[in-house]
Structure 1
Amino acid sequence: MTEASTGGGTGHTARYDRRGASRVLAELAQPGLFAEAPAPRARHIEYAGTPLTPEPGHRLTFSQRLYLERFMRPCRPDQVTSATHRITWTDSHGIPNTGHYRDDGLGPAVPIAAREAVLELWDRLAANGSFAERATRLDGRAHALLMGTTTDHDPVEIFRVGIEATGRTLAQHALLARQTPYRDAVEFARGMLDSGIFAAVATRWYWELQASTYRRGMIPVTLLAQPDTTVRYSAETVAVLRAMKDATIADAHTVMRRATGPEGLTVAAAIEKYHDDLDLISRQYALLPSGARPACLAAMPHRIADEHYSILPMVAERFVATFAAVLAGLAVTPVTGEVDGSDSDGPIAADDQVFYVPDMTCKHCVRTIGGVLESMGIRVADIDLVSKRVVAEFRSPRNRARAFEAIRDGGYNPSAVRAEADSDPAQGQVTVTAESTR
């Protein structure tokens, strides 16, 4: 939906207004976003780890280097820290996941616990009946603001994506744990909160950079320890993040000026025609007035009921507390993983038409993955964002393997995994295993 279109059946014209949309979300969240925390439970999760191999003569992998050169100018390779390992596991909801860690850092438990904390907060969001009731009472104007401004227009989905971004922020910055004074994962998480790192990501990064570099196991940041035991971004980091954001905004404006100028398109038609170009650099940036800088909706302050309020600090505090509680009952065990895929040109089994993309987190991801498959002549039958499940009509195992390579080149990690999650509600314990579908 664009600023020139109308909200579905609301009778209100959707318009791009970040502060207005932020106010709608803040008023939904301020009375309370989450239901009460459940009783602590034990979790045992198995994971498979794979070392990341840098290109010969480079400090980054091939995928990392390509992304750096294409989308992170003017960032240099020496300003980027890479993970040493990629891991795959199945979470307690039975969904395959992919994450990264460094062998000189806090280990694989951090991305796994971060995912479990995200799931718990998603469940608590869904269990908050008063929040759901407030969301259903939103009027046409509020829906039009969300439709015209946000990528995920449904309020529940917007908060889900924000919660997941919070977990992503913690797991990604854990690659830099050795640059901090924090001794374990819980101390690290609380240190990130006290240092304002969650707010720094919201205000200094641009969305696609944070999501894409996370998926590739890389982070263009240096942390500096302070005398009060907090940490902060180095001046060089701040400058580079700003330069990358400015370059991204300039790219978006160039696309829009060409489309609405020489090509004579309306804004709505321009976004429709150049949707794929703008997907990489965020259509929201294309709609920013000249000279304006983007602001994270969750980080914007508002005055509600005579008090100053913003969503981000509340979500970050709740996430860190949940992460610490999850980690206290979490045991992780490495297992040997098997590579899925085949070079055969023979018939493909029905089960092999189904796969998962663990790092598919929003509608942008859905469109990107679907576009990759369709560009290869592969019909997509279904993509489910919640379960991360994709059903596609591959012609052969070789066709499937090549499609997986193309998806990986885009920064995603497809997985042919069938998950089995067994739980004992009486004991509050969850044991998760995963087996190959091949």
Structure 2
Amino acid sequence: MSTEISASTEARTHYDRRAAARILAELARPGLFAAHGAVRVGRIEYTATELRAEPDSHLTFSQRLYLERFMRPCRADEVTSATHRMTWVDSAGIPNTGFYRADALGPLVPMATREAVLTLWRSIDDNPGLSERIARLDATAHAVLAGTTTDHAPIDILRVGVESAGRALAQHALIAPQTPYRTAGEFACGLRDSGIFTAVATRWFWELQASTYRRGMIPVTLRTGTDRSVRYSSQSVATLRAMKDATVADAHRVMDRAITEEGLSVPAAIARYHDDLDLISRQYALLPAGEHPICLAAVTHSAGAASSALLADVVDRLVEVFTDVAARCEPVEVPARGESDTGPAAWEDRIFYVPDMTCKHCVRTIGGVLESMDIRVVDIDLDSKRIVAEFRSPRNRARAFEALRDGGYNPVGERPDPMRPGNLG
């Protein structure tokens, strides 16, 4: 038998969700994470800004716009909004933004989630067995991953998967009062044991989760059972299904028009209609008719007599680390620093950070927003979330930030000093 991890002989060297899911599951055996050391926690300073809802509404302008354009048939009363946007620096020295409700679990969950994600990222990077298995992937397996996923490289795919699980945890904290769980650790364990992470992976679609998270909103309601487990309400399940079906149908219409009416090949259609298809260019546009997609990590695979899913391993470790971090994390609010909008742009004003820039699609989207405003993008670094752009003035910079926020991203104007006394200890 070959020592290479490969796709089956029937696998195509392009879009193939089943083959991609199998490859990722094989890479994760016998373990995705290496042992990790102590997590640095303690006092973490953050700034908070209250979200301003539109008149006679509980939603902001950006939330309402996204709801109307992309979430039909979801209604406004099915959506819960954050009360505050927060900014802080994590233990890696990277600025972050997040959302919380003052009447829920507060700023602790976004902070602790970020530290848990960073810990799991390091654990993935430090796993020599995983690195060896990735090195043994053959060309066919790499082609399947490249043709099916957004991020292509196995390590990038796995890191984004961990971040997505963390995003689901932080986002559902907005509706923590709908559960019987009263501490951050109890809340995380309750979501895991109730199967909520699996519900996100199977019932939501990727762009809905990413975009609503970045806007500080969540379109579901939780119900509590007699055993204290929680589940989505029947209305939430029906609405999520309708939104997902509508998204798949939209993707198919774009592809069918491009291929049948314009005579384009599939790669040419994806390239030409990238903005229309957005993240669903491959994930949904190429799905066979009648197939209902789920997250690749949620696909169950058999290993001998046992069956497992990669998502379960990720969630178990995430909740374990999160619970540890949340018990030893102390959020401390500090005042935000004001910025002037007059005069020419200073050299240092070219640099800013977008903490919720999580994948290559985000890089393309953010770059496109800036370039559409005639702002030259000098550099975008996904790992550090750092962007260098040539703004014409502080006012031009402020307008660009507003445009990014309207698109669901939350730029940070400066990188606070993580070594400043009391910022992280």
TM-score exceeds 0.5: yes
Q: Contact conserved, 1:18 with 1:295, CA < 8 A, in 2?
A: no
Residue 41 of structure 1: CA displacement? 4.1
How far, CA to CA, are the matches of 2:108 and 2:250 in structure 1? 38
Q: 2:171 matched to 1:172? A: yes
Take 1:77 and 1:113, find their aligned partners in 2: how far apart are those partners?
29
Q: Which residue of 2 aligns with 1:24?
A: 23
Distance (whole Å) between structure 1 residues aligned to residue 41 and residue 251 of structure 2: 47
Are 2:143 and 1:138 aligned? no
Q: Which position in structure 1 is the counterpart of 2:369?
A: 372
Residues 49-94 of structure 1, C-alpha deviations (whole Å, 9 max, x = no match): 1111110011211110000000000000000001111111111111
1:339 Cα deviation after fit: 4.1
Please tell me whether the aligned partners of residues 160 and 358 of structure 2 are also in contact (alpha carbons under 8 angstroms): yes
Q: Distance in 1 between matches of 2:173 and 2:397?
A: 33
1:41–1:329 contact (8 Å) kept in structure 2: no
Secondary structure, counterpart of 1:78 in structure 2:
helix
**Match of 1:418?**
415
Whether the 8 Å CA contact 1:202–1:296 is kept in 2: the answer is yes
Aligned residue identity for 2:52: T
Q: Which amino acid aligns with 1:311?
A: L
Cα offsets for 1:400-434 (capped at 9, x unmatched): 111111111101011111232339xxxxxx9646x
- In structure 2, how many angstroms separate the alpha carbons of the residues matched to 1:23 and 1:47? 41
Query: Retained in 2: the 8 A contact 1:30–1:309?
Result: no
Identity %: 65
Return 5+ residue gaps in structure 2 as ranges: 1-10
Displacement of 1:40: 4.9
Partner residue, 2:187: 188
Q: What's the TM-score once normalised by structure 2's chain length?
A: 0.95
How many residues were matched structurally?
414
Distance 2:215 2:360 in 1: 19
Provide the residue aligned with 1:229 in structure 2.
228
Within 5 Å, give how 1:11-410 maps onto structure 2: 14-279=13-278, 281-340=280-339, 342-344=340-342, 346-410=343-407
**1:318 CA drift (Å):** 0.4
Q: Deviations over 1:17-43 (max 9, x none)?
A: 111001100000021111113135433
Q: What one-letter code is carried by the residue in structure 1 that aligns with 2:357?
A: M
Q: Distance in 2 between matches of 1:44 and 1:124?
A: 23
Given that residues 44 and 331 in structure 2 are in contact (C-alpha distance below 8 angstroms), is that contact kept between their aligned partners in structure 1?
yes
Name the SS of the counterpart of 1:47 in structure 2. strand
Partner SS for 1:48: strand
Closer, same or farther in 2 for the Cα pair 1:154/1:280, shift >3 Å?
closer
Structure 1 contact 21–146 (Cα < 8 Å) conserved: yes
Q: Is the 8 A contact 1:47 1:87 kept in 2?
A: yes
Contact 1:195-1:230 at 8 Å conserved across structures: yes
CA distance in 1, matches of 2:34, 2:379: 32
User: C-alpha displacement at 1:307, in angstroms?
Assistant: 2.7
Q: What is the identity, as a one-letter code, of the residue corresponding to 2:283? A: Q
Question: SS of the counterpart of 1:32?
Answer: coil
Task: Indicate conservation of the 8 Å contact 1:203/1:295, yes or no.
Answer: yes
Q: Which moved more, 1:225-234 or 1:389-398?
A: 389-398
Counterpart amino acid of residue 106 in structure 1: L
Aligned partners of 2:245 and 2:12: how far apart in 1? Answer: 29
Matched letter for residue 234 of structure 1: S
Contact (CA 8 Å) 1:94, 1:432: kept in 2 or not?
no
Give the CA deviation at 1:299.
0.4
CA distance in 2 between partners of 1:316 and 1:347 (Å) = 48
Partners of 1:247 and 1:280 lie apart in 2 by 15
**Aligned CA-pair RMSD:** 1.6
Q: How many Å separate the matches in 1 of 2:139 and 2:284?
A: 25
**Per-residue CA distance 1:199-242 (angstroms, 9 max, x = gap):** 00000000000010001110000000000010000000000000
After superposition, the Cα gap between the structure-2 partners of 1:207 and 1:182, relative to the gap in structure 1 and judged at 3 Å, is same
Gaps of 5+ in 1: 1-11, 424-429, 434-438
Q: 1: CA distance between counterparts of 2:179 and 2:311?
A: 23
User: 1:321-344 CA deviation, whole Å, 9 max, x = no partner?
Assistant: 00011112211100011244x433
Q: Distance in 1 between matches of 2:112 and 2:363?
A: 25
Q: Secondary structure at the match of 2:38?
A: coil
Instruction: Indicate if the aligned counterparts of 2:148 and 2:282 stay in contact, CA closer than 8 A.
Output: no
- The aligned amino acid for 2:383 is V
- Name the amino acid aligned to 1:395: R
Counterpart Cα distance in 2 of 1:339 and 1:97: 18
SS at match of 1:261: helix
Q: CA deviation at 1:156?
A: 0.4
Q: Could you say what secondary structure the match of 1:160 adopts?
A: helix
Shift of 1:347: 2.6
Structure 1 window deviating more from structure 2 (378-387 vs 35-44): it is 35-44
